[in-house]
Amino acid sequence: MGLFGRSEAGDRWIVVGLGNPGPKYERTRHNAGVMVLRELLERTGRTLKNHKSGAAIAECEISGEKVVLARLSSYMNESGRPLGALCKFFKTPAERLIVVHDELDVPFGDVRIKLGGGTAGHNGVKSVAQHLGTKDFIRVRVGVSRPRGQGDAIDYVLNEFTGTERKELPGIISTAADAVEAILADGPERAMNTINTRPQ
């Protein structure tokens, strides 16, 4: 039995930080979502424990809401499989799922909340949508910008942030964690008005 014991179906939020497993990918752009998850774990004082869904989770309370923080054991392009199993286990509907991920189409340093919509070619988001059977979940997009010139996007996101970027990264990760907390406190629409219009 979890932290909250037995409760009504679908009363928990799930917040997942997308990324690839293993130390090789730990500090890459594609793991920005995992970095935000780590920040949320530090803020709540929780640690992850393995779950039968194929995710490691921590149950906590944020802004008065019951929340399951999750990191997936799968690679990015298979994110939907364990996340779908986790949502099914907790009976969490898509509208109470927050997916935190890197985003090429958002400038580096910016954080954007998005409700549903397309996947913008992001394999992790695409996998989640396929396994859930819907795109109507909440996204917190951490901007990493596109590579300059004709650089390959896959190589770019699988590389680490530059030294200059790393100096700014803690503040960006903190803002993304703030975005998650704002969604839980005020709802996604009001959180968008706060986060998406924040001076950059």
Distance CA 105, CA 61 (A): 32
Annotated catalytic residue within 30, 101, 122, 131: 30
Measured in degrees and rounded to the nearest 5, phi and psi for residue 173 equal: -60, -40
Distance CA 148, CA 166 (A): 18
- Residues 6 or more apart whose CB falls under 8 angstroms from that of 2 comprise 59
- Pairing mode of beta strands 111-115, 138-143: antiparallel
**Coil/strand/helix, residue 106:** coil
Measured in degrees and rounded to the nearest 5, phi and psi for residue 145 equal: 65, 170
Place of tokens 């340093």: 109
30 is catalytic: yes
- For residues 125-150, b (16+ Cβ closer than 10 Å) or e, as one string? bbbbbebbeebebbbbbbbbbebeee
The residues assigned a catalytic role are 30
